[in-house]
A and B are shown apart, each in its own frame.
Chain A
């Protein structure tokens, strides 16, 4: 039997062969957070489907909203993977819409909001009253902090999260006084961020959320559904 080091070398060798024939896949390193945000958006949609008015959840696009293009999303959906304006037509960005308690809401990715300080901040995922979103699109304005209901910051890391990410979230959200829930969602974990956010009401940390952990996923979806029931419609 060969020694572990020689075996290790051989295994690493064959692993590197896969990388060398698929170098392009390393491109995902640049878009890890955005792909992860799209995944969390999908989980938020699953939570929304549990609480929204039946049949009211749909995907929309900016061109449909502004130019009334029909049909709306013809088999294509563009996820906004970099910060931008809710009214931007640079691409036909997609978003979701749903009704809860007779009020329409929209779920956006990467949209920028004005904080109380009038400084613009971007949230990976945000839920906003659809009337406010529509008004912003018509007037080419960014929504204000008072209009944001629930926000999500998504972090895809190959290492544990540092305490600075918890502080960053608290700092960011302190500029959004009307905000009811802010969740930091990650594939990774962090004892220090967990401790830091533990006694704060608005901020929640969701760790190890990945398809490899279906129980954690389900717990997360249930928590979002509770957030929606408790925080929307009022």
Chain B
């Protein structure tokens, strides 16, 4: 029980930090809440059909795992992907400035040209990836440890 309460405190620590990060952090929190609300898929059963996937509410350690996994997806996995695209276009097609236009040309605001520059993500990747990856690995190991304690 103490562990559950402590894990909820850690989860809340992340929630509060994301809430303080403004609109973008709140958007990410909405994603996380959606995943947690969907519950955890039950173990495979032989008579399961696509339309009858059983789910159960997530345990505190699983909720924290969802938070950590979501953060890792956007802070480690996506920068790695963006960096790869940047390098490929640079080396194979001599593209120095790779931009992602986020503005639909179906909208009358098309000329505003809101765009994301891959080089800034690449920069973030090179500056933080090693540290972040080590931090996430350590957190995941601790979560595994807590999970196995819970199993016993």
Q: Which residues of A contact B (CB under 8 A)?
A: 4-5, 7-9, 11-16, 18-20, 22-32, 34-36, 38-39, 42, 45-46, 58-59, 73, 75-85, 88, 90-91, 93, 156-160, 163, 187, 191-192, 195-196, 210-212
Chain A residues positioned under 8 Å from B71 (CB to CB): 15, 19
Nearest Cβ on chain A to B130's Cβ, whole angstroms: 12
Q: List 17 A-B contacts (CB under 8 A).
A: A11-B138, A16-B14, A18-B132, A18-B135, A19-B25, A23-B21, A42-B84, A42-B88, A45-B92, A73-B95, A77-B93, A79-B98, A82-B106, A85-B105, A85-B106, A158-B35, A158-B73
Number of B residues near A (Cβ < 8 Å) is 76
* Cβ-neighbour of A80 out of B17, B94, B101, B111 (below 8 A): B101
* Complex CA distance for A94 and B121, rounded to whole angstroms: 20
* Complex CA distance for A212 and B20, rounded to whole angstroms: 31
Nearest Cβ on chain A to B147's Cβ, whole angstroms: 10
Known contacts A28-B82, A75-B97, A160 near B28 by CB under 8 Å: no
Known contacts A26-B25, A156-B78, A4 near B99 by CB under 8 Å: no
Nearest Cβ on chain A to B24's Cβ, whole angstroms: 4
Of all A-B residue pairs in the complex, the 6 with the closest CB atoms, nearest first, are A90-B110, A90-B105, A158-B73, A82-B104, A26-B24, A84-B105
Q: Which residues of B contact A (CB under 8 A)?
A: 3, 6-7, 9-10, 13-14, 17-18, 20-22, 24-25, 27-28, 31, 35, 38, 41, 44, 50-51, 53, 66, 69-71, 73-75, 77-82, 84-85, 88-89, 92-106, 110-111, 113, 115-116, 118, 121, 124, 128, 131-132, 135-136, 138-139, 142-143, 145-146, 149
Q: A4-B149, A24-B24, A156-B78 are in contact. List 13 more A-B contacts (CB 8 A).
A: A5-B10, A12-B14, A18-B131, A19-B25, A19-B71, A26-B24, A30-B27, A31-B102, A45-B92, A84-B106, A156-B81, A159-B66, A192-B50
* Cβ-neighbour of A75 out of B27, B95, B102 (below 8 A): B95
* Cβ-neighbour of B142 out of A11, A58, A59, A75 (below 8 A): A11
Name which residue of chain B comes closest to A84, CB basis: B105
Nearest Cβ on chain A to B34's Cβ, whole angstroms: 8
* Cβ-neighbour of B100 out of A14, A45, A81 (below 8 A): A81
Are B3 and A5 neighbours in the complex by a CB distance under 8 Å?
yes
Are A9 and B102 neighbours in the complex by a CB distance under 8 Å?
no
Are B28 and A22 neighbours in the complex by a CB distance under 8 Å?
no
Are B124 and A35 neighbours in the complex by a CB distance under 8 Å?
no
Are B142 and A30 neighbours in the complex by a CB distance under 8 Å?
no
Are A158 and B74 neighbours in the complex by a CB distance under 8 Å?
yes
Are B104 and A83 neighbours in the complex by a CB distance under 8 Å?
yes
* Complex CA distance for A206 and B118, rounded to whole angstroms: 25
Are B74 and A26 neighbours in the complex by a CB distance under 8 Å?
yes
Chain B residues positioned under 8 Å from A12 (CB to CB): 10, 13-14, 139
Are B146 and A211 neighbours in the complex by a CB distance under 8 Å?
no
Are A4 and B81 neighbours in the complex by a CB distance under 8 Å?
no
Are A211 and B81 neighbours in the complex by a CB distance under 8 Å?
yes
* Complex CA distance for A148 and B47, rounded to whole angstroms: 39
Are A26 and B13 neighbours in the complex by a CB distance under 8 Å?
no
Nearest Cβ on chain B to A102's Cβ, whole angstroms: 23
Are A211 and B84 neighbours in the complex by a CB distance under 8 Å?
yes
Chain A residues positioned under 8 Å from B132 (CB to CB): 15, 18
* Complex CA distance for A196 and B95, rounded to whole angstroms: 39
Chain A residues positioned under 8 Å from B3 (CB to CB): 5
Are B124 and A25 neighbours in the complex by a CB distance under 8 Å?
yes
Are A210 and B77 neighbours in the complex by a CB distance under 8 Å?
yes
Are A84 and B104 neighbours in the complex by a CB distance under 8 Å?
yes
Chain B residues positioned under 8 Å from A91 (CB to CB): 101, 103, 105, 110, 113, 115
